[in-house]
Amino acid sequence: MQRKQTMRAFVYLTAGLAMLFYALPRVPDVTMDISGAFTISWLAFAMLFIGANLYYLIGVDKERQSRRRRNDWLYRTLRNVREPVAGKRQYMK
């Protein structure tokens, strides 16, 4: 499953880069009218698309998930070790 998603992200990244390089000479110049706004919004969307696929392929989120998983394990382990609270009687169960 992981390999299929990675391959899909790579295909999408390649398609996004091809679309950007094909359309970049054809978009209108950046001016202070509707065509300039279209150019800026189109380029912003293309950069967002390419950046999201690069983010997935580089695997930045995988490192954060493994760290979170390790911290969750540590928290669950330490939570099971109960220290006596001052002023409370501890009864054996």
Token output for 50 = 């390419």
Q: Element (H or E) spanning 85, and its range?
A: none
pTM over 0.75: no
DSSP conformational letter for 59: T
Amino acid at 39: T
Which ranges of the chain does DSSP label H, i.e. alpha helix?
Answer: 2-23, 34-58, 60-80
Task: Write down the pLDDT at residue 49.
Answer: 95
Nearest-CA neighbor of 20 among 51, 43, 52? 43
Give the tokens for residue 44.
């912003």
pLDDT for 28: 86
Q: Where are the domains of the chain?
A: 2-80
Give the C-alpha separation, 16 to 53, whole Å. Answer: 9
Per-residue pLDDT of the chain (93 residues), as tens digits, is 778 888 999 999 999 999 999 999 998 888 899 999 999 999 999 999 999 999 988 887 666 666 666 667 666 666 665 555 565 665 555
